[in-house]
A and B are shown apart, each in its own frame.
Chain A
Amino acid sequence: MENLVNALVSGLISGSLYATMALGLTIIYGVSRVFNFGHGVIAVIGAYITWYLLSVFGVPFLPATLLSLAFMASFGWLVYRFTMSPLLKKPNWEFSTVLFMLGAGILLENVVLQVFGPRVKSIPVLVDGALKVGFIQINWHEVALMGIVLVVIAALSLFFKYTRTGQAMRAVAQSIPGAQVVGINIEQIFGLTFALAFTVTGFSGILLGTKYYLNPHVGWEWMVKGFVIVTFGGLGSTSGAVVAALVLGLVEAVATLYFGAIWVWPIWFVLFLIVLLLRPQGILGGRT
């Protein structure tokens, strides 16, 4: 019982980290219908830049994160402007963007490997110490992470609901011709969407880097988890992604407790298959 409760708590924590991880994917897909197969390495780059600023230049955590996020935002815009934008104008863009981002992901992963080396890095935790409630034990750091994740999700949903840019993004997601009719600049919105998604993804990389380890290849594992999550929650649905991430985080924790970590992947795959067979639009997704 104690083990189970502790496992559930840690599942909730990793689930909330996966949620931020998956948000970047689902934002890009929802607005532009591009499925980012280089997603993992984007998170890794965000985390590495923060790590570099922290440990080599001794910049404090907050400015280091902000600098790294500023870089990610401009990187996202550049990626859209110079690669995605021309590709989206060609026929068969759906799969050519997939292959392009795959190639770019591997390219960037190996650039990270060349620049930072293969050794495992980790970003220092935000706060030390542990919180004990009865037999449940949580690190303060993990409590802080969950708080940050909640703030990020709340901020994003407010952004989509109330700002003009956020509303424009939702309009484009619903219908591109419709958005054009009311005078929305599609190119600009797509560019901003990539910038936003890369920023969120880079931030999720930083958070994951403080809880888990960091190396140039870990992005693939994060990304494939992100894929299952966004499909589970419904492609393009942000609330679906959050719910799915929490569910899968819990499933992962319970599976690790009872069957061992090696079974996590097969179980994720089976869940993925079941969702695709029974409800391909995902648990909360409205459309396919």
Chain B
Amino acid sequence: MKHVNWKFALAVLVLVFILLYPWLGASSYTKHLFILFFIWSIVAANWNLMMGYAGINSLGNIGFMAIGGYTAGILAKSLGVPPFLTIPIAGIVTSAVVTLALGLPALRLSGIYIALLTLIFADTLPSLLTQTREITGGAMGLHEIPPFYPGMDKTGAYYICFVFFLVVLFIIYRIVHSPTGMAFVALRDSENFAYCLGVNKFRERLKVFALSSLLTGAAGGMYVHALGDISPTTLGIEPFLLTIAMIELGGVGTFLGPILGAAVIVFGNEFLRLAGTLRLTLLGALICTIILFYPGGVIQLFHTIEHRVERLLNRKTPTT
């Protein structure tokens, strides 16, 4: 019970810091980084919900985010729909498209087929975008998408994204600790046992597919309103790789892992800019190293340290 409180206190401390940060002399640039962190950690957390918890080997989540982003961007820019409507619509559209076009076919298949289908789906999107140049702006993308409210500054965007970040994480936390979440863990750890308990694999996974694409699409909507533009480079190899790195680095199949990973990658990526063209080389090497030598990620490192400390404390208490 002791260490739970300790962790909880740390989490609260971090959240309070994030809440007060704009008044602690944050520059516009660091606020921008925090906004990126909020959005990418949501994308990573949802991806992890599919990959780490539900065992859906999706490789197309960046595509989901792009669908949401483009939907919100087009609605707001061409039709003048206000952002509090575009973001839910973006989520719903993404969820509908993804669940129908990918979820239903993919979930009937196993393992590697899902990875292939989702990857090829995300790979097809750029050529569709160039085809629909009049609406989506083709290779140039969409620019000057209206912000959340007229005259929004970075601090406003910061707080709106922060609230969104908290809400989505709360939802994911509840899912992970709900019967659905338990069903996933059961399915992941022992499929036959889960069947015996009456878990309907197809239905549970479809639920997660729909929900996770909904939240990822909404994150895409947040992204375009907070940053003002989106282009097919979002679908490129780099964002894809960065998000994979976030999940792997933080720890697959843990609640906090992807968030920690997102923090490290978003802020670390700025330092990596110094490395210039070597950046992708380093990222690739990072992913390989983690998978090969440290598959549990940062979370596992924390657990190891915690156990060490606990053992140390326990050894000391009886003697003194």
Contacts and interface: CB of A to CB of B under 8 A. Distances in A.
A48 interface: no
B248 to A, nearest CB: 7
Nearest to A221: B123
Nearest to A34: B112
B281 A224 contact: no
B194 interface: no
Interface in A88-137: 90, 94-96, 98-100, 102-111, 113-114
Contact of B248 (A35, A99, A288): A99
Given A104-B284, A280-B113, A95 B277 contact: no
Contacts of B57: 94-95, 98
A228 B108 contact: no
Interface string B284-295: 111110011001
Contacts of B227: none
B288 A272 contact: no
Contacts of A277: 105, 108
Contacts of B283: 103, 106
A98 B113 CA distance: 12
B287 A100 contact: yes
B279 to A, nearest CB: 8
B113 A231 contact: yes
B288 A100 contact: yes
A266 interface: yes
Contact of A100 (B117, B123, B292): B292
A262 interface: yes
B287 A103 contact: yes
B117 A272 contact: yes
> Which range contains the number of B residues in contact with the other chain?
35 or more
Given A100-B288, A231-B113, A224 B127 contact: no
Contact of B120 (A103, A224, A263): A224
B171 interface: no
Contacts of A99: 244, 248, 287, 291
A51 interface: no
Contacts of A86: 292
A95 to B, nearest CB: 5
Contact of B280 (A90, A110, A273): A110
A272 to B, nearest CB: 6
A87 interface: yes
B300 interface: no
A220 interface: yes
B116 A107 contact: no
B288 A104 contact: yes
Interface string A249-288: 0000000000000110110110011001100100000001
Contact of B112 (A87, A98, A100, A272): A98
Contact of A110 (B59, B278, B287): B278
Nearest to B237: A106
A235 B108 CA distance: 16
A273 B244 contact: no
B186 interface: no
A227 interface: yes
A106 B292 contact: no
Contact of B281 (A83, A94, A111, A227): A111
Contact of A107 (B113, B117, B121, B288): B288
B124 interface: yes
B111 interface: yes
B251 to A, nearest CB: 13
A49 B289 CA distance: 26
B115 A35 contact: yes
Given A87-B292, A98-B57, A99-B244, A280 B109 contact: yes
A94 to B, nearest CB: 5
B110 interface: yes
B241 A110 contact: no
B119 interface: yes
A266 B113 contact: no
B124 A100 contact: no
A106 B120 contact: no
29 contacts: A35-B112, A83-B288, A86-B292, A94-B111, A95-B115, A96-B291, A99-B287, A100-B288, A100-B292, A103-B291, A105-B284, A106-B237, A106-B241, A106-B280, A106-B281, A106-B284, A107-B288, A108-B284, A110-B278, A110-B284, A111-B281, A224-B119, A227-B116, A266-B124, A268-B124, A269-B120, A273-B117, A280-B108, A280-B109
- Cβ-closest 4 pairs across A and B: A107-B284, A103-B287, A106-B284, A110-B281
